[in-house]
Structure 1
Amino acid sequence: MLKVKELEKNVWELTLEGVLTKSDIRTMERDLTPIIQGEGPFGLIVRADGLKDLTADAIAEDAKFEFAMMSQWTKISRMAIVSDLQALAALLKWVDPILPMIDMRSFATSQVAAAESFVSDLPAPHGASQGNGISLLSDGKDGVLAYEIDGRISAEDVNELLAPLEAQMKGDEKINLLVRIRHYDGMDLSILTRGSLWGTKMTAIKHVRRYAVVGAPKWMAAMATTVAAMLPVEMRMFDSSQDDAAWEWVRAD
């Protein structure tokens, strides 16, 4: 059996009991889809203390659902798994690096109150972001193209970002990039479907020599470091207190 219940605004409880079947997963799809497609951030507590097993078709249906909703999972800020099963705690540790933007923790069945408190402690709603999105710090004329991210990134922000970036890519000279992150509050998911953005980013790689990222949250820094290892770009992560050092590095010959 599977049940979805709202505990409070933007905080939901998913209860798993007995042996889950394909029908149960479809119930989850029906109930969770409109929730996740709403305005986040969300907290999700999974009560698996009564879970016995999953059928093979339930596992397949769940994988299909989670893959289809991949772009929406970033709206979940915190997720707690309540279970005494060591296998679930181990699975959570394996999944955590794959979805680093979600703060995931496991709790014993005796810690339900702590789990509920954890998932209820959410950041400000996206609509309440007070930042400016993306601001241009340096237009690249001195060899350094720099931006600051503060708040939620909109499609309009990306349009403003692409103009100076595309201008720098018309020549053969390499440029250095610096991105300072004061506060990241997510992005408009429609950005992910824009072919022009991905095309510009792939072309830009050929023109970038050094790329400094200042003040990235841990999950973002970990992801950027992994991606950087596969790119022909020299990238470094700097703490927010190392802003001067980052500028010195991208300006160095």
Structure 2
Amino acid sequence: MNFLEEVPAIRRLETNRDDLFAVDIVGEVTPADAENLYGLLEAAYALHPHIDVLVRLTDFEGAQWAEISPQTFEQGRETALRHVKRCASVGGPDWTGLLGSELPEGAEIRHFPAGEEAEAWHWLGAQPRDTA
């Protein structure tokens, strides 16, 4: 399989809220996946100055952090701190501590084990939209 045939690790999830950005992360995140994620988030910020985020980690195999530009990573983190009100991570490792001490007033971040995905959706006041 060549680069153009690879399935993206980050896949958008449809929800019942326009101001909720939800993604499923499957497998290993490449630098191209990270760039795509930041672009999708920028589009969400343009539509809604403040959003909630749900990140579902399904069979997460890690990220190629060393290959992602430090400037890109830092810019994405700083922008998220300005725009994200609530963030729920579901499954995978609990990475919420990476931002916990830097959250602006009123912002919240929580990790939910994979078996508690319904609780994460409830916490955000949202539901996944059936795309079938």
Q: TM-score, structure 2 length as denominator?
A: 0.75
Change (3 A) 1:204 1:140: farther
Correspondence for 1:225: 97
Residue aligning to 1:251? 125
Which of 36, 50, 73 does residue 174 from structure 1 map onto?
50
Which consecutive unaligned segments of at least 5 residues does structure 1 have? Answer: 1-130
TM-score, normalised to structure 1's length?
A: 0.42
Q: Which structure features the higher share of helix residues?
A: 1
Aligned equivalents of 2:96 and 2:49: distance in 1? 24
Task: Note the aligned Cα RMSD (angstroms).
Answer: 2.6
Tell me, what secondary structure is at the counterpart of 2:46? coil
Instruction: Assess if the C-alpha contact under 8 Å between 1:180 and 1:213 holds in 2.
Output: yes
Aligned positions, number: 118
1:238 positional shift = 0.7
Question: 1:167 and 1:178 mapped to 2: Cα distance?
Answer: 16
Superposed structure 1 runs of 4+ greater than 3 Å apart? 138-141
Alpha carbons of structure 1 residues 208 and 195: separation in structure 2 relative to 1, 3 Å: same
Q: Which residues of structure 2 form unaligned runs of 5+?
A: 1-6, 127-132
Distance 1:138 1:197 in 2: 25
Distance 2:8 2:47 in 1: 30
Give, in angstroms, the shift of residue 132 of structure 1. Answer: 4.8
Q: Report if aligned partners of 2:96, 2:110 keep a CA contact under 8 Å in 1.
A: no
Question: 2:102 is paired with a residue of what secondary structure?
Answer: coil
8 Å CA contact retained: 2:52, 2:85: yes
Looking at structure 2, the residues matched to 203 and 172 of structure 1 have their Cα atoms a distance apart, in angstroms, of 13
Q: How many percent of aligned residue pairs carry the same amino acid?
A: 30
Match of 1:239 in 2: 113
CA distance in structure 2 between the partners assigned to 1:161 and 1:245 by the alignment: 24
CA distance in 1 between partners of 2:118 and 2:23 (Å): 15
Q: CA deviation at 1:209?
A: 0.7
Structure with more relative contact order (C-alpha pairs < 8 Å, separation 6 or more): 2
Superposed displacement of residue 216, structure 1: 2.5
> Between Structure 1 and Structure 2, whose CA radius of gyration is higher?
1
Q: Residue 186 of structure 1 aligns to a residue in which SS?
A: strand
Distance 1:168 1:205 in 2: 14
Matches for 1:70-89 after TM superposition, within 5 Å: none
- How far apart, in 2, do the equivalents of 1:182 and 1:173 lie? 28
